[in-house]
Amino acid sequence: MFKKTFLVLLAVSVVFLFSSGVMAETYVVGTSAGFPPFEYIEDGEIVGFDIDLMEAIAEAQGFEIEWTDISFDSLIPGLNAGTIDIVAAGMTITDERAQVVDFTDPYFSANQALLVREDSGMNVTVLFGDHNLAVQTGTTGDLWVEENLQDPGILTGRVTHFDTFVLAVQDLIAERVEGVVLDTPVARRYAADNPVEMVAELVTGEEYGLAVASGNTELLEKLNAGLQEVKDSSVMDELLEKHF
């Protein structure tokens, strides 16, 4: 009898904890490090603008998050398979992607850029003829090179696809490719920390959004509300100041 009462009380308190929000919901956030200053590894830890932004949104909306770092081209499949709830990875909102996932309101604007080795004398002509480039698989830079350079036969050299931009930039420094195409803010950061330089900006007019599985309106609304709170408060400015 005593035991039964105890169990009932336990069950009631668990229900109470959930409904009162003491036990907050936990969402798995997928990202792909090697995209500084948005997400990168520092002292074995994943840090960056997207990381802080997601933490701020989670705090504003009262949920918990857990990070998972995977290859960029596995993020959307992860959302669809349900192994990830949210993508926070400097992901550009595109029509093709919006057919399979749902994006929040935009939180950052970017273009594409061309990185070459510092003092190599190389310039935008690396994009034409028999030159070798590196990109990150599945990114808008990857697609841009394919559609605008390879398909029309403007670029006839090899394009190497990497899982991360860290590896792409290493190949550039090691003189295995002559250029890397990637997002402008990230190109600037790599140029600041490595013997590479940004020699061209390709105006693609991209905007980054957080993504959830198609139809997950409840979570999308939480993210948009949280994002708005962050934008309306001083937090967004603080994060921009901290990371850029």
Q: Which is nearer to ligand ARG, 157 or 209 (CB)?
A: 209
Q: Which is nearer to ligand ARG, 204 or 214 (CB)?
A: 204
Among 102, 178, 183, 197, binds ligand ARG (CB under 6 A): 183
Q: Give the separation between CA 89 and CA 50, rounded to whole angstroms.
A: 7
Bridge partners, residue 35, by sequence: 39
Quick note: the x/- pattern for ligand ARG over 201-220, rule CB under 6 A, is -----x--------------
Of 145 and 227, which CB lies nearer to ligand ARG in the complex structure? 145
Binding mask 26-65 for ligand ARG (x = CB under 6 A): -----xx-xx---x--------------------------
Instruction: Lay out the site mask for ligand ARG across 99-138 (x = CB under 6 A, - = otherwise).
Output: -------------------------------------x--
- Site size for ligand ARG, by CB under 6 A? 15
Q: Compute the CA torsion angle 54, 57, 63, 66 (nearest 10 deg).
A: 0
- Identified binder of ligand ARG from the candidate list 30, 37, 78, 90, rule CB under 6 A: 90
Residue 92 binding ligand ARG, by CB under 6 A: yes
| Complex with ligand ARG: residue 186 or 213, whichever CB lies closer | 186
User: At closest approach, how far in Å is the CB of 244 from ligand ARG?
Assistant: 16
Per CB under 6 A, residues contacting ligand ARG are 31-32, 34-35, 39, 72, 89-92, 136, 139-140, 183, 206
